[in-house]
Structure 1
Amino acid sequence: MILSTIIRNTLGTVGFPFTLWNLAIERKNKVKPPGQIIKTKSSEVHAIVTGEGPITVILEAGFSSISIDWCYVQPEISKVARVVSYDRGSYGWSRTKRRTMTSLDSVEEIKDILDHLKIQPPYILVGHSFGGLSMRLFASMYPNEVAGLVLEDAAHENQYMLSKENINRIKKFRRLVTFGYITSLVGIPRMLKQKIGRKFLAKEYDESLEYIGYTLGAYKSVYREYLDAEESAKQLLNAKPLRSDLPVIVISAKKQPEAWRQDQQLVINLTNNTEQIEADTGHSVHLENPEIVINSILKLIKINS
């Protein structure tokens, strides 16, 4: 990362007029965060905290996505429980001084948020895609605090290991995120309209997506998170097994490549109390058919009420 940062900063200096233009557009497009900024030991974390109740639901977005990704799910769950969503690293409105962005970093950040807000367990954890790794790690590290786990088309650690099957895909994507990071200061991704995260959500978030999709923090985070993805996978491999009686709901999207669907079969064996729901959707079930995710969370809340 040091070499990439040197190249990025050099390019930013050489192309100084473009750097000024890019930073000016970023300031011009800035949107106030919909939640609150929480100062932790290492970061200023943007979190959206809604609802109330004895059970707290923690929502972890997928790779390159943020708190507002849950705009269809969080309001519904907030009717019956407290809900926390947040922005990892320097995605969205968060800013971090952390040097790494592994699943363990995410777990530590969540714990800092909960401690700051004085939110006690039990917790129900919900993780989409890459976010499923940190939710599983949280459940492994704090088994007595977790009352349930929803894994929404969650990635298996195999996806990020440099195996013979994965090496070409991983190296290709690493080149892509490295290019985005190196050229982000002079605004080349903005010129090419290659934003980070979602292109579309509910209409009310159009201005937010236009802002957060092009911040320097977003390109740095997507680069850092993917470079650290293998380390995140190793953290899961070395983690203690989940509590055998932990209620787990695995939501698997049908419209996925065969290799991904095969990995879903590994996720459904995490505990003796795991059930699988197959969704006739693509990868983002919470956006394509949010009722499936909402009902799964409500089921776990009811079990623990």
Structure 2
Amino acid sequence: MCLYSTLLILILEDDIMFFKISVVLLGLLALSTVYHQIQKKIEVNKNPAPGEMIRVGDGRMHIYGKGEGSPAILFTCGNGMGFTLGNYYPVFSALAKKTRVVIYDRFGYGWSDSTSRPRTMKQINEDLYELLDKSPETGPFILVGHSLGATEVVEFAQRYPELVVGVVTLDGTSPTFYRNRKSLHAQNTVAAAIARLLSATGLLRILTNINLLSTAGASSPKEIVKITNMMTYNRVYSHEAVEEVKALINNDQEQSTLGDIPVLILTADNLKMKKKQAEIYQYFVNSQKELLTLSSKSRQKIIENADHFFPIKKPDIVIEELLNFLDTL
């Protein structure tokens, strides 16, 4: 009996210790949540949009231009954690010395509001068209899109060719990459749910501030890094971001040609992806080959020793390629 009593006491002590640890952790989580929500309001007030907020449909969209010249270069970001100014700041700043450069935030990203409008690529293109029509930006434009943003700019050029003189995709994809890939939507939805939970509790703020998670380029100034981090832990995987992928998966619209609009396809060699995610890598390769067929003036360049995020990690390469592309026009 003595042995059983001793074991029982030890078990009870372990349970009490576990309970105490759980209470402490829950308390810290509650404090983190309250602190994050307070700081979130303060940061939003301290960091207003640098550009114009223009009413488009049921919300406002952010657009920001800098520099002089024509054609203007218009940037859009990828899906999920993208934030256009933060992603492209070194590129944006360098090219503004040569021509007009413009960034904008889709609904659900950056400073732009949320929206009840569907997140089909057709609607996203119509949002951008309306935004440009109401803004001082007159074009014509070289459109630059990273990842999912490449699909956006390609389809925009197909719908509004009169506004576009060139298209540049940065490790982008064609609609066939997403089409009927139900598992991709499931993965995106789970990732979004986890990210939103981490965001709401302030844990994402902690991860970002200790440099474990950030979408800011290393060469960006501290102020841009701070704002990019703010966007990362406040707007990560918004409802709009999830709906974009869902709409692309269910999209069965055929790709139309871009005619003779020049297209530059910058593709990361993605060696790590090739080794660890061979199936996804092959999808990527095939979808970027498809982009090559869209224009009679298309060209692809492989960026060596680069991953999917080379526009953020290796901005000098993007600057050089865009300046060369601008010269050819």
Tell me the TM-score range normalised by the shorter chain.
Answer: 0.7 to 0.9
| 1:67 aligned partner | 84
8 A contact 2:66–2:102 mirrored in 1: yes
Quick check: 294-303 or 147-156, which moved more? Answer: 294-303
2:323 and 2:117 map into 1 onto residues whose CA distance is 36
Unmatched 5+ residue regions in structure 2? Answer: 1-28, 275-280
* Alignment-derived partner of residue 24 in structure 1: 38
- Provide the residue aligned with 2:309 in structure 1: 284
1:200–1:206 CA contact under 8 A, matched in 2: yes
2:226 maps to a residue whose letter is: E
Deviation at 1:226, TM superposition (A): 2.3
- Secondary structure of the equivalent of 1:54? coil
How far does the alpha carbon of each residue in 1:55-83 deviate from its partner, in whole angstroms, 9 at most, with x for none? 11110111121122111111222122211
Whole-angstrom distance in 1 between the partners of 2:110 and 2:213: 10
Instruction: Tell me whether 1:159 sits opposite 2:177 in the alignment.
Output: yes
What is the TM-score with the length of structure 1 in the denominator?
A: 0.80
Percent identity reads 21
Q: Does 1:146 align with 2:164?
A: yes
* Structure with the larger RCO, 1 or 2 (CA within 8 Å, 6+ apart): 1
Shift of 1:140: 0.5
Structure having the higher helix fraction is: 2
- The change in CA–CA distance for 1:22 and 1:290 in structure 2 (over 3 A counts) is closer
The Cα of 1:130 is off from its aligned counterpart by 0.8
C-alpha deviation, 1:175, in angstroms: 1.3
Moved more, 195-204 or 20-29: 195-204
The 1:52/1:192 distance shift into structure 2, 3 A limit, reads: closer
CA contact (8 A) 1:147 1:246 kept: yes
Name the aligned partner's letter for residue 224 of structure 1: E
Secondary structure class of the residue paired with 2:70: coil
5+ long unaligned stretches in structure 1: 1-14
Pairs within 5 Å for 1:228-247: 228-232=244-248, 237-238=252-253, 241-247=256-262
- Of 179-188 and 123-132, more deviation after overlay is shown by 179-188
Secondary structure (helix, strand or coil) at the match of 1:40 reads: strand
- Whichever residue aligns with residue 276 of structure 1, its letter is Q
Alignment of 1:1-305 (within 5 A): 20-30=34-44, 31-33=46-48, 35-41=50-56, 42-63=58-79, 64-68=81-85, 69-163=87-181, 167-181=182-196, 184-187=199-202, 189-190=204-205, 198=215, 200-201=217-218, 202-204=220-222, 205-215=224-234, 218-219=235-236, 221=238, 223-232=239-248, 237-238=252-253, 241-255=256-270, 256-257=273-274, 258-259=281-282, 260-280=284-304, 281-304=306-329
Cα distance in 2, alignment partners of residues 131 and 18 from structure 1: 33
- 2:24 is aligned to none
Q: CA RMSD in A?
A: 2.8
Preserved contact between residue 147 and residue 171 of structure 2 (Cα < 8 Å): yes
